[in-house]
Amino acid sequence: MKVLVTGAGGFLGKRVCELLTKKKYQWVIIDRKSNNLLSKVTVGRYSNDRFDVIIHMAGITSLNKRRIHGTYNDNVIMAKNMAKIFNNAGANKMIFVSSNAVNYRVDSFARSKRRAEEILIKEVPNLLILRPKLIVGEGSPEVKLMHTWLKRLPFIPYLIYPGWQFDPVNVDQLAERVAAAVDSKEIGVITVSGNKVGIREFLLRQRDGI
């Protein structure tokens, strides 16, 4: 099994690649330092190889300072290029890690993920879209931002209604979900979430653990 991976250097991607190694898969990464996913040159380079599965996890968030054309355009261009690589390389399946934010947010990140899904659904025959909810765990950009605000405004948890809950997903669980999908036949759109926890309690644990 030969797998092409984007986003391998991210806090999710590193974990996914470790699991692929344990499964003894041969995996190749499109490294951000040496290959630009926005470039036609990169598309040509990887189109000449053969891959069984492509895992597309690379993405630009509003927190990422490496934006070239802006969050929306960068993510959309990457989706178009990955669709070209998929079809040119004769891959059997693509796994795209999107975001559950497509269901309720209207910022450039959510809109770009929504548009990327539309492009891949149209261009990629065997596509599995995973929409994780808030990803927590060591290295999570969202949790880091949360810590920043909790340091400045430690009273924030007490502004949350005690009964409100949400279901974040742990990054290790998400990585296992991605790796398990490589040799499965499942396609379609799947929301990935964890156990329900109280939002106030979660924020208090995060604040007290800083």
CA–CA separation, 202 vs 198, rounded Å?
Answer: 6
Give domain limits for the chain. 2-133+170-193
What CATH architecture does domain 2-133+170-193 belong to?
A: 3-Layer(aba) Sandwich (3.40)
CA–CA separation, 130 vs 151, rounded Å?
Answer: 32
Query: 173 in the Ramachandran plot: left (φ > 0), alpha (ψ -120 to 50) or beta?
Result: alpha
> What are the average pLDDT values for consecutive 10-residue runs of the chain, which has 210 residues?
93 96 94 75 90 94 58 92 95 97 92 97 97 92 88 92 94 97 95 95 85
Of 56, 19, 7, 3, whose CA–CA distance to 176 is shortest?
Answer: 19
pTM: 0.91
